[in-house]
Amino acid sequence: MKHGIVLRCTRRGETFRFGPGVIGTLVVLALLFFSQPSFAEDLLGAYELALKNDPRFIGARYERDASVEKLSQARAGLLPKLTAEGVYTQTRQNIVSSDNTVYGQGVSTYPTTEYSISLVQPVFNMASWASLQRARATVKGADVKLEAARQEMMVRLAKAYLGALATRDNLEFIGAEEVAVSRYHELVTGRFSSGLTSRTDFLDAKARLSDVRARKIAAHSNQDDAFQALREIVGQDIAKIVAVREDLPLLNPDPSSIDTWIDATVKRNPSLEMQRQAVEEARHEVRRQQAGHYPFLNLEAEYDRTKTEGTLFGGGSEVETAYVLARLTFPLFEGGVVNSRTREAKNLHQAAMQEEERQMRAARKETRAAYLGVVSSIDRVKALREALEAQKMVLEAKREGYRSGLYTVLAVMDAERDLYRARRDYAVARYDYIMNSLRLKKAVGTLSDGDIASVNEWFEKER
């Protein structure tokens, strides 16, 4: 008896049997057909995904679209209002008795149909004009808020992307360190078994191996968290990301004057501009509340047509009425609510101005920190690059010294550990340089798609 997997296929009463060889071929073809090529996602590709999928940015876009409607709503207060109305009435009257001989007696039933159309055109209404100016400031603020959200998303995405890179690098460095420590642990264990080394050295090597394995477990968890943070922004899993090129260009801020960058921030920072529009909104709100003391003038027109098919006097009537009037209204006293709302608006205006001052100081501080961060990151990258090269030579020297009996194996393990830490610090310093460069442009308000594309050129091409 032959054993194996048999696939049956029935069509029009006929049964086909496929043996294991044919099934294996079909499985391979299916895997080839449905498998998708695995591409590495660079920063620009991740940015394109974030534009479509980042909930915070998409929500800001909807908020901006909603704010635009406020302008239409405010403009409606200055436009005419046209109203049409129709009323149908069925009247039943029972005249029980009457001393007036004109009236008849008994029950009479008749319908009445009324049609009217009215037009109200505001001629002067200070509150409506103030509302319109306030709405214009709201729309400007919404446009700036959307731009600020876009630039914030760029920095947030770059931070998540580079954070994922850092955790991946760290895991690779720890993995390489684990291989080296395991090798030396095996060597020390063999020497300890032969009585060629002390128990202290053996326990030290064992402790180092346990430590690096514990750090590797934590590194796996950190890497998963970092990639999930990236997924939170782009909306899908990214299995592979692209590393930064080794020849990363280190560019000092241009212009080189920190005061020039701070002045540009005061003029162009999106968050500051958004707050300026909030101050403008508050100022127009004060005017709108003060307008409660102003008179308002409306031009009104109305046309009515009433058709009655019966009356108490007998017979019916059809009446048309049209009139045009100018209505001038003086608000005199409303219980003090206008004064109270005005004081409230003035206080909110002052609060908005103080918030503008706070944000201006914060923006200056942010720009200074980002500028100095770029400069210091460049120096730190250069210094750590030299430290890394020096550490490589130290490790090689200690290996040679170990072979000649000058150094112990633990000294070599220390050098291995220091080398991997130097590599990690060097990688993190390069990522810090990229982040500080983006933060500096965001502080000034000039961060754009072109900057993301330029930074993307600093990454390796693995597609």
* H or E element at residue 428: helix 409-444
Residues 215-228 have a mean pLDDT of 94
Alpha carbon distance 222, 428 (integer Å): 15
Residues 115 and 159 in one domain: no
In a domain, 35, yes or no: no
In a domain, 30, yes or no: no
Residues 115 and 244 in one domain: no
Any idea of the CA torsion for 207, 208, 214, 215, to the nearest 10 degrees?
150
Residues 305 and 197 in one domain: no
Residues 405 and 267 in one domain: yes
User: Rounded to two decimals, what is the model's pTM?
Assistant: 0.79
In a domain, 364, yes or no: yes
Residues 227 and 275 in one domain: yes
In a domain, 439, yes or no: yes
pLDDT of residue 428: 93
pLDDT of residue 104: 58
pLDDT at 314 over 90: no
Domain endpoint, select from 313, 329, 345: 329
Quick one: CA dihedral 400, 404, 409, 415, positive or negative?
negative
Contact 396, 187 (CB under 8 A): no
CA nearest neighbour of 315 among 110, 113, 88, 91: 110
The secondary structure of 196-237 as a DSSP string is: SS-HHHHHHHHHHHHHHHHHHHHHHHHHHHHHHHHHHHHSS-
Residue 171 pLDDT level (bands cut at 50, 70, 90): very high
pLDDT at 228 over 90: yes
pLDDT of residue 225: 95
Residue 191, classed as helix, strand or coil, is: helix
Structurally, the chain folds into a number of domains equal to 2
The secondary structure of 272-300 as a DSSP string is: HHHHHHHHHHHHHHHHHHHGGGS-EEEEE
Residues 229 and 255 in one domain: yes
Tokens read off for 391:
């550490």
Q: What is the domain-level CATH number for residue 233?
A: 1.20.1600.10
* 99 or 172, greater pLDDT: 172
At 382-436, the pLDDT tens digits run 999 999 999 999 999 988 998 888 887 778 888 888 999 999 999 999 999 999 9
Mean confidence (pLDDT) of the chain = 86
In a domain, 8, yes or no: no
Residue 30 pLDDT level (bands cut at 50, 70, 90): very low
Q: What is the domain-level CATH number for residue 105?
A: 2.20.200
Residues 285 and 302 in one domain: no
Alpha carbon distance 292, 169 (integer Å): 65
Residues 435 and 363 in one domain: yes
* H or E element at residue 52: helix 43-53
pLDDT at 48 over 60: yes
In a domain, 400, yes or no: yes
The secondary structure of 109-173 as a DSSP string is: EEEEEEEEEEEEEEEE-HHHHHHHHHHHHHHHHHHHHHHHHHHHHHHHHHHHHHHHHHHHHHHHH
Residues 359 and 232 in one domain: yes
Residues 215 and 324 in one domain: no
* H or E element at residue 317: strand 317-329
In a domain, 338, yes or no: no
In a domain, 405, yes or no: yes
Residues 112 and 168 in one domain: no
pLDDT of residue 99: 62
Domain endpoint, select from 314, 329, 344: 329
Residues 107 and 147 in one domain: no
Contact 73, 274 (CB under 8 A): no
pLDDT of residue 329: 92
Could you give the count of Cα atoms lying within 13 Å of 171 in the half-sphere of its Cβ?
16
Alpha carbon distance 361, 350 (integer Å): 17
Alpha carbon distance 283, 133 (integer Å): 10
Contact 235, 157 (CB under 8 A): no
> Domain residues for 91?
81-124+296-329
